[in-house]
Structure formats: C-alpha cells, structure tokens
C-alpha cells in the first residue's frame, strides 16, 4: 500500500457498538495510528478490526461487498453525514485523505425504524427489497428474445430512465432525511420503469403498491428538504419524487377500488 | 380514488401542499387590502376595503373555507410530524444538517408553530372585534360614518391603537419573519409535492416563491412599524 503524500494519520474513532437488535448499544472509542491517506475508509476499519482481533476483542461489524461504489452495502453515517464528508460517493470510495491527523470521527449506523440495527453498524435494509418485490418489476414475453431496437424510446425518456436506474439502493437518502423518508429510493425505482414502454403494463398498479409498501415499512413523510438528493452517491434527482407523486395521484384518480 | 389516498404518505403531503397554496392565495389578498393604509392617511380607503371584505357574502363564505383550510393544514402537519418522529426512534449523536439542506426547510414545524402563536394573537387583535365585536361585547370597535351614511368599523383606528404598543410591533415583526422562512421553503415545496417539477418551469416557480416569501412578509411587517412611527 502506498503512503499517499507520505502522511500517516493518527485518529480517534467513536464507533457505535450494539450486540444485536435488542441490545441497547453505545459508543466505543478507539485510537488508530499509522493510517495511510491512500486507504479507503473501509480499509481503515479493516486495520482497526485486525487490531481488535489480535487483542482478543470482538471486531466491529460493518456491511461491505464490492468496495467499488456499485453495490450500495457500505452504510456508515460518518461525522453527521451518510457516507462521510464528501458528496457523490459511498463509504468505500471515501479516502482517508479527506481527514486530518488528530481528527475525531464519529461513526453511526443508518437510523430508521424501517432499518433496524442487526449488529454494530450493520442494519437490515430488507424493507427496500420488500418495496421492490411489491411492484418494482415488469412483465416480459416468453419465447425468443426480441430485437433490441424493436421498441422506439425517445432519447430524453431513455436518459431519464437511465439516470433513475443508477440508484444502488444504499439507503443514504433515508439516513440523511430528517424524516427517514424513502421517497428518493422509491421514486427512482418507480421512475425507471414508468418512463419506459416496457413498464406500461403495470404502471398504475406498480406505483400504488410500492407507495403502500413504503408506508407500511414505517418510513417517514417527505418534506422536500433535499437532503436525500444532496447525499445520494448516484445523484438521483428530486424530479423523480415529483414524478412519483404525479404517478401516484394519477393512478389513485383512475383506479377503481377492488 | 380509494379511501386510502388520504391515509397514504403522498396523499397527506398533497393535502399539506394544497392547503398551503390556498393559504398563500389568502395572504396575497390580505396583503393587498391592508396595504391600502399606505395610500390614504385618513384610513377611509382601508376601512372601505375592510368593510367590503367583512360584508361581501362570497368573501364571508370563503372565510369559513379559510378557517377550515388552516385547521386542516395544522392538523395534517401535526400527524405528519408525529409520524416522522416515529420513523426515527433512535436519533444520531451528530448531524451535519447544513451540509445537505437549509435550516428552515428542516424547521417547518417550528416555524409553523410560531406562526400559529402569532395567528392566535392576530385573530384576537383584529378578527375578534371586527367579526364578533357585537357579540358579548368582545372588544367592540369604534364606528365611523363616511359619505352615503354607511356605518363602518374604524379598523384603521384599531390598528393605530394596537400598534401604539411597541411590544405588539416587535411581535408582529417576528411573526412576519417566521412567515417569510415558512414560505421560503413552503412555496416551492408545495409545487414539488403536488408533482409539478419540470426543468422548464421549476426555476421560475422557485424565483417567484422566494420573491413572494420575502416581499409579502416585508409589506406586512412595515405596517405596524409605519403606524407606530407615524402615530407615536
Ligand atoms: C398555523 C400554523 C402553521 C403550521 C403549524 C404550519 C405547519 C407546516 C408544516 C409542518 C409543514 C410541512 C413541512 C413541509 O412539508 O415542508 C408546512 C408546510 C407548508 N405550509 Fe404551513 N403551517 C402553518 C401555517 C401556514 C400558513 C399561514 C401558510 C401560508 C400562508 C402555510 C403554508 C405552507 C406551505 C405552502 C407548505 C408546503 C407544503 C408542502 O411542502 O407540500 N403554512 N406547514
Ligand atoms: S436514491 Fe441514492 S441514496 Fe437513495 S438508495 Fe438510491 S442511490 Fe442510495
Ligand atoms: S462496498 Fe459496494 S458500494 Fe461500497
């Protein structure tokens, strides 16, 4: 591992420790030293965990998978912001050069009734999965695959759908929102399909079911503060929320009660 | 539309936004009528405007709708705020709110509560005597007769009377500041909530909202200040 600009950091970490979902949990303070500015935030945690293991202590549980900013697993609320002080990135893409020698860093799990803590910094984000399962899919014909260019899609619609589809389900929007609202995530998932011809079959049903599932999971109500958009690592726009609200109103107005 | 609409998060937000926009339309009319005090030192123009607002039956009917709208707005905000508190039972130890949003967008409930306190005082000062003055003699108003032998409430004199007290002037200015910040977020937020967000129009809506949010409370706040200074 390189040593960046040659600087090594000594840091104080205040990390949330919680044995399981039922335990009370509290902050634990750790000193880490000799941290290269080239390390990612997760690598710094690896160093700390190795130290804890050598000392015979329980390592800190945290979620991670791809470590390249595409899976959305690395949920950490760092110094008051999801994924730390830099905008537009996940925690695995956050480098230690964003910190100064001697800094104290507070690390907490996502806080939301719908994302219960499993252990330490790991939360259960299956509420998102249940929202997707409720309507975030399209029907497709079986048989031979069709020619890819059979269906014409306006460039603007394709671009908007693609932008919405960039959402990686990381949950930073919920973590950042003062109301723990999931509107940015759900609106991205509603939009990516509502904008495309393939999504038309379930269009109304989809938005009704996904919003209803979102409410059932216990997420809060959006107040348009824009914190989600500002913290989203994939730049998902608030325009998606307005679109979902339109879709929802339209579907409500034109769907007969079963 | 299903019964569930008004129970859904988006439905409740739309009620919030629509009642908010309705209250904004009231503010525009209210501001216009009250600003008549700046155009006639004798107060006759304003008294006539207020008389029209108090006697025209369409406007009296709208007054009922206005109270219903305000109560709905307050009731809905209470429900939404309680639900939002429940959505994060364990809070963060450290929050860097300024990094991602404006403080007033995060303080709509607080600003609204300040507005409510202001409104209670304001209704007591002017609405009670002008509408209920006759009933049970709650603060009856002085009367004045202009040409045509029509008897008017002298609300202008009552304004001078109320704003003789510097404490009232300060409270009104503070109320207007709360209103300004509430609207600075609320005006554009209402459009976003009802789904009106478009690259072509949203910048104009945001500009209009900011102008309205600053101009209208400024005009309102200048009234007590002006009357206090003019009739000291
Ligand atoms: C009486 C006291 C009031 C209280 C307690 C109150 C409270 C609230 C709350 C909690 C919100 C939700 C925050 C949000 O959605 O961003 C809100 C939104 C709003 N309020 Fe008020 N408010 C009050 C009076 C008013 C008045 C007098 C007006 C207008 C003149 C107004 C206009 C709005 C608007 C336009 C919104 C935005 C709706 C949206 O975001 O969809 N409010 N108010
Ligand atoms: S909208 Fe952005 S912040 Fe929210 S889950 Fe998707 S990628 Fe993460
Ligand atoms: S570990 Fe996959 S996005 Fe960070």
The 10 Å Cβ neighbour count of residue B103 is 13
Q: Which of A90, A119, A148 is the last residue of a domain?
A: A119
Q: What is the pLDDT of residue A1?
A: 47
Per DSSP, A95 falls in state: B
The model carries a pTM of: 0.93
Question: What is the residue-averaged pLDDT of chain B?
Answer: 93
Residue of B nearest to A26 (CA): B93
Reported as half-sphere exposure (CB side, CA atoms, 13 A), residue A205 has a value of 12
Indicate whether B8 pLDDT > 60.
yes
> pLDDT, tens digit, for every residue of A16-33?
999 999 999 999 999 999
Of B93, B102, B194, Cβ closest to residue A245: B194
Residues in chain B closer than 8 A to A212 (CB atoms):
4, 8
Q: What is the mean pLDDT of chain A?
A: 95
**A113 and A130 inside one domain:** no
Query: Do A108 and A228 fall into the same domain?
Result: no
Let me know if residue A159 belongs to a domain.
Answer: yes
> Domain with A12 in it: what CATH number?
3.10.20.30
Lowest mean pLDDT among A2-6, A196-200, A201-205: A2-6
pLDDT number for residue B150? 81
- Nearest by CB to A252, from B2, B80, B89: name it: B2
Distance from chain centroid for Cα A6: 33
Q: Which of A78, A94, A119 corresponds to the end of one domain? A: A119
**Phi, psi dihedral angles at A228 (to 5 degrees):** -60, -50
Q: What is the pLDDT of residue A3?
A: 46
Q: From the CA of B16, how far away is ligand 1's center (Å)?
A: 7
B143 pLDDT tier (thresholds 50, 70, 90):
confident
- For the stretch B169-184, pLDDT in tens is 999 999 999 999 999 9
- Domain extent, residue A240, equals 125-254
Q: Cβ contacts (< 8 Å) between A252 and chain B: which residues?
A: 1-2, 5, 11
* Residue A85 with chain B: CB contacts under 8 Å: 99
Calculated CA dihedral for residues B119, B121, B127, B129, nearest 10 degrees? 170
Question: Tell me: the pLDDT tens digits for A127-163?
Answer: 999 999 999 999 888 888 888 788 899 999 999 999 9
Pair (A136, A247) in one structural domain? yes
Count of domains observed in chain A: 2
CB spacing of A225 vs B101 below 8 angstroms: yes
Task: Report how far ligand 1's centroid is from the alpha carbon of A225 (Å).
Answer: 13
Residues B100, A232 contacting (CB under 8 angstroms): no
B residues 196..215 contacting A (CB < 8 A): 196-197, 199
Classify residue A2: in a domain, yes or no: no
The answer to whether A184 and A172 are in contact (CB under 8 A) is no
Which pLDDT belongs to residue B157? 92
A149 & A248 share domain: yes
Torsion sign (Cα): B13, B17, B19, B20: positive
Residue A41 lies in a domain: yes
User: Which residue, of A119, A141, A157, is where some domain finishes?
Assistant: A119
- Whether the predicted pLDDT of B133 surpasses 70: no
Q: Look up tokens 């390249």; give the residue.
A: A68
Ligand nearest to the CA of A45: 3
User: What local confidence, expressed as pLDDT, does residue A256 receive?
Assistant: 84
Do A103 and A135 belong together in one domain? no
For residue B7, is pLDDT > 70? yes
**Residue B2 pLDDT:** 63
Return the closest-CA partner of residue A240 out of A165, A171, A178, A175.
Answer: A165
Determine which of B3, B85, B99, B100 to mutate to test the interface with A (most A C-beta atoms within 10 Å).
B100
What's the length of chain A?
A: 258
Judge if the beta carbon of residue A172 lies within 6 A of ligand 2.
yes
Q: Is the pLDDT of residue B113 over 70?
A: yes
Q: Does A245 score more than 60 pLDDT?
A: yes
Residues A242 and A161 in one domain: yes
Residue A168 inside a domain? The answer is yes
Confidence of residue A6 (pLDDT cuts 50, 70, 90): low
**pLDDT of res. B232:** 83
Report the pLDDT averaged over residues A232-239.
98
What's the Cα-to-Cα distance from A7 to each of A3, A35, B205, rounded to whole Å? 7, 8, 49
Same domain assignment for residues A142 and A104: no
pLDDT digits (tens, 9 = 90+) for B75-95: 999 999 999 999 999 999 999
**Domain of A153: which CATH number?**
1.10.1060.10
Residues A45 and A62: beta-carbon distance below 8 Å:
yes
Please tell me the distance from the alpha carbon of residue A95 to that of residue A84, in angstroms, as a whole number. Answer: 10
Does A92 sit in the ligand 3 pocket, CB within 6 Å? Answer: yes
Q: Is B87–A79 a contact, with Cβ atoms under 8 angstroms apart?
A: no
Q: Which residue has the higher pLDDT, A149 or B112?
A: B112
- What phi and psi values does residue A121 have, to the nearest 5 degrees? -100, 0
Chain segment A96-119, per-residue pLDDT in tens: 999 999 999 999 999 999 999 999
Separation in Å, CA B183 to CA A130, B27, B89, B116: 36, 11, 29, 14
Tell whether A179 lies on the interface with B, counting CB pairs under 8 A: yes
Residue nearest to atom 8 of ligand 2 (CA): A170
Stated as kind and residue range, the H or E segment containing A17 is strand A8-17
Please give the number of the atom of ligand 1 that sits closest to the Cα of B185.
Answer: 16
The answer to whether residue A22 is domain-embedded is yes
Whether A99 and A151 map to the same domain: the answer is: no
Supply the pLDDT for residue B97: 97
Q: What is the pLDDT of residues A52-90, one digit of tens each?
A: 999 999 999 999 999 999 999 999 999 999 999 999 999
Task: Indicate if A76 and A164 belong to the same structural domain.
Answer: no
pLDDT at site B151: 83
| Boundaries of every domain in chain B | 3-85+103-230
A178 interfaces chain B, CB cutoff of 8 Å: yes
* Residues A112 and A163 grouped into a single domain: no
Would you give the DSSP letter of residue B201?
T
Instruction: Summarize pLDDT for B204-224 with one digit per residue, the tens.
Output: 999 999 999 999 999 999 999
Pick the CATH number of B3-85+103-230 from 2.70.98, 1.20.1300, 3.30.450, 1.10.3470: 1.20.1300
Query: Which pLDDT score, from 0 to 100, does residue A67 have?
Result: 97
In a domain, A156, yes or no: yes
Q: Are A134 and A245 contained in the same domain? A: yes
Q: Is A70 in the pocket of ligand 3 (CB under 6 A)?
A: yes
Instruction: Compute the distance between CA of residue B79 and CA of residue B82 in angstroms, rounded to an integer.
Output: 5
Do A132 and A189 have their domain in common? yes
**pLDDT number for residue A5:** 61
Is residue A1 in some structural domain?
A: no
Q: Is the pLDDT of residue A178 over 90?
A: yes
Ligand sitting nearest the alpha carbon of B101: 1
């Amino acid at each position: 591992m390189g040593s960046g600009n040659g600087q090594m950091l000594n840091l104080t970490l205040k990390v949330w420790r919680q044995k399981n979902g039922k335990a009370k949990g509290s902050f634990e303070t750790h000193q880490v030293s000799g941290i290269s500015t080239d390390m990612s935030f997760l690598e710094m945690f690896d160093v700390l965990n190795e130290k804890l293991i050598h000392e015979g202590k329980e390592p800190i549980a945290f979620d991670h998978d791809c470590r390249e900013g595409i899976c959305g697993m690395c949920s950490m609320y760092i110094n008051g912001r999801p994924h730390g002080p830099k905008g537009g990135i996940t925690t695995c893409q956050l480098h230690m050069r964003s910190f100064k020698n001697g800094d104290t860093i507070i690390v907490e799990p996502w806080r939301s009734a719908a994302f219960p803590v499993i252990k330490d910094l790991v939360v259960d984000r299956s509420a998102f999965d249940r929202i997707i399962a409720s309507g975030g899919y399209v029907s497709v014909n079986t048989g031979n695959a069709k020619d890819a260019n059979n269906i014409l899609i306006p460039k603007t619609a394709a671009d908007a759908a693609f932008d919405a589809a960039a959402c990686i389900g990381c949950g930073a929007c919920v973590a950042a929102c003062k109301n723990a609202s999931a509107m940015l995530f759900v609106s991205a998932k509603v939009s990516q399909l509502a904008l495309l011809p393939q999504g038309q079959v379930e269009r109304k049903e989809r938005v009704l079911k996904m919003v209803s599932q979102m409410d059932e999971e216990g997420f809060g109500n959006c107040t348009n503060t824009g914190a989600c958009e500002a913290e989203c690592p994939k730049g998902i726009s608030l325009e998606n929320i307005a679109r979902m609200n339109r879709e929802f109103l339209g579907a409500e107005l034109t769907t007969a009660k079963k | 539309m299903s019964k569930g609409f008004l129970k859904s998060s988006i439905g409740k937000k739309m009620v919030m936004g629509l009642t908010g926009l309705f209250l904004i339309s009231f503010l525009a009319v209210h501001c216009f009528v009250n600003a008549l005090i700046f155009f006639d030192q004798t107060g006759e123009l304003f008294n006539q405007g207020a008389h029209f607002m108090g006697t025209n039956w369409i406007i009296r009917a709208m007054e009922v709708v206005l109270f219903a709208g305000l109560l709905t707005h307050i009731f809905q905000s209470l429900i939404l705020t309680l639900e939002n508190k429940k959505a994060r039972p364990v809070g963060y130890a450290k929050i860097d709110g300024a990094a991602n949003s404006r403080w007033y967008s995060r303080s709509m409930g607080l600003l609204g509560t300040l507005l409510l306190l202001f409104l209670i005082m304001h209704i007591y000062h002017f609405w009670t005597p002008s509408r209920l003055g006759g009933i049970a003699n709650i603060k009856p108003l002085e009367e004045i007769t202009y040409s045509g032998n029509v008897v008017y409430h002298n609300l202008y004199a009552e304004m001078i009377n109320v704003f003789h007290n510097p404490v009232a002037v300060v409270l009104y200015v503070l109320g207007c500041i709360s209103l300004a910040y509430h609207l600075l977020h609320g005006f554009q937020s209402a459009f976003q909530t009802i789904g009106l967000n478009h690259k072509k129009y949203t910048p104009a809506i945001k500009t209009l909202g900011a102008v309205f949010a600053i101009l209208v409370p400024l005009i309102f706040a200048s009234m007590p200040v002006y009357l206090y200074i003019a009739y000291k």
